[in-house]
Amino acid sequence: MGWGASKTQRDEHLGQHYVKTPNQQYAAVVVDMCSEARRMGSGPRAQSADALCSRIAACLFKKLEKGGHYVIMFDCQSRMHSRRAALHKQRYKPLSPEAESKAIADGKTIVAGSAYAQGSEPYTAAQVKKINRLRPVVWNRLWSSPHGKKRSWKLIYSAMAQAITAQASDTHNVVMWFEGQPFVWPPCRAQKFAQLTADMCNNTYGEADQRVAEAAQVLARQGIAPILIQTIDTDMIIQALCAPQWGEPNTPIHLQLKNEIIDITHMCKRFGATPERRINAAFWLLTSAGVDYCKGITRFGFRSQELREMADTNSNVIQTTEKHKTITLQTPQLIQQLKKLERRNIKKAMAPDFQQELANIMFCLALFAGISKNHLPAGGPTQPDAQCFTNLSEHQPFTAAFLKSAAPHSQNIEHAHA
């Protein structure tokens, strides 16, 4: 997943938190393996799972101190939140007949309703069956194949275990989690770090993003530092702000994205000393540009820059209970803040859509804050009902008049811990 702010917008708003001297070693490196594999494996180049994972392991072991912890998290399809399936259905819609005809005319191949350039088509089921760890493959073709995605992660998991065994020093401690029980290396120290491993994997999340955030927080609370989180998914910026338990205030935590390294500790200090204050900042950053599960509110006429700047105010539109068991959107306070901002009039903007978007943002905050992390069959909160406003007409436009009269009819959206 990714936060919708552009690289330029991130630079402007978060540039003061960039790490200027990135070449250092860490006591712990926590990796989103699905993200890292795509970073290192995407493109037309064919390479085997063993070759890909050998490169990944070599790069990351260079960043690890002697005796350091290397934590590798995968997506787990059997634990995916129901919102993920709905998102994929919405995102990967088949081409219309007109678009399909145009793609064919342009020399593209149609597979399962999507168009592909010659040579980039997804592998067939028969081709996937022949792929093993040593066979070079074009990973984009495997990931786009309905027969290949699950197979790809099993190959990479197995190849990564081999790379770890071959490259890790005797002092390194490795935990890798895909499905079932985590892989621990070296086996002789598995008992020594059994509790740490159990704590890092104490959730039922299906997405590596949340697994990574949970593991990094466990390490930070144990005083293991400095920590590097490695992912190209920029929504980890928001997740870091929502995470309630980063250990001591000065625990050095860095976030390695594709083109920048962010000092998470420094960023969290800027946005507030308490988890509640930081989750308020995260709320405003989500309103300015969404992630996979929300779009933000710029389509209702608000300016992205002004919304991002609200992250630095003590707006207090979000309240949390002890240990983030509940987070609540104070809708009256939110409306009061929004009325102060400049807004373009968007003719097609509708109030019910605005209400639904607030519910979507709250879902993201609750997910990133770790609410219901042990929920079954998949970790994470349920989508809240969109009930910010009472007596809301189905066809009510989102206008200045609506904003002016909306506050007296507001209710709170609340997430309870399962």
Between the alpha carbon of residue 97 and those of residues 92, 104, 122, 205, the distances in Å are: 15, 11, 20, 38
Domain containing 185 equals: 25-94+113-225
Backbone Cα Rg of the chain: 23
Between the alpha carbon of residue 296 and those of residues 34, 210, 231, 414, the distances in Å are: 26, 21, 23, 19
242 within some domain:
no
Total domain count, the chain: 1
141 within some domain:
yes
Alpha helical stretches, state H, 135-289: 139-143, 149-167, 194-200, 208-221, 236-242, 264-271, 275-288
Q: Say whether pTM exceeds 0.85.
A: yes
What was the pLDDT predicted at 163? 97
Task: Please state, in angstroms and rounded to a whole number, the distance separating the CA atoms of residues 206 and 376.
Answer: 11
Cβ proximity of 333 and 307 under 8 Å: no
Task: Please state, in angstroms and rounded to a whole number, the distance separating the CA atoms of residues 355 and 176.
Answer: 40
6 within some domain:
no
297 within some domain:
no
In 3D space, the residue among 231, 182, 187 whose CA is nearest the CA of residue 203 turns out to be 182
Q: 256 pairs with which residues across the strands? A: 230, 261
Per-block average pLDDT, block size 10, for the chain (418 residues)? Answer: 92 95 89 97 95 96 94 95 78 78 82 85 94 96 91 97 93 95 92 95 97 97 95 96 86 94 95 91 97 96 97 91 78 92 92 94 94 93 84 89 73 58
Cβ proximity of 389 and 351 under 8 Å: yes
Residue-by-residue DSSP string for 33-46: HHHHHHHHH-SS-E
Task: Please state, in angstroms and rounded to a whole number, the distance separating the CA atoms of residues 124 and 242.
Answer: 41
Residue 244, helix vs strand vs coil: coil
In 3D space, the residue among 199, 152, 144, 196 whose CA is nearest the CA of residue 178 turns out to be 152
Q: Which amino acid is at 129?
A: K
What was the pLDDT predicted at 113? 82
Task: Please state, in angstroms and rounded to a whole number, the distance separating the CA atoms of residues 239 and 279.
Answer: 9
380 within some domain:
no
What was the pLDDT predicted at 101? 82
Cβ proximity of 328 and 413 under 8 Å: yes
Task: Please state, in angstroms and rounded to a whole number, the distance separating the CA atoms of residues 131 and 33.
Answer: 20
Residue 102, helix vs strand vs coil: helix
What was the pLDDT predicted at 418? 42
Alpha carbon dihedral 99, 101, 103, 108, in 10-degree steps, equals 150
215 within some domain:
yes
The conformation of residue 179, written as its DSSP 8-state character, comes to S
Rounded to the nearest angstrom, the gap between the alpha carbon of residue 47 and the centroid of all alpha carbons in its chain is 27
13 within some domain:
no
185 within some domain:
yes
Residue 27, helix vs strand vs coil: strand
Cβ proximity of 78 and 206 under 8 Å: yes
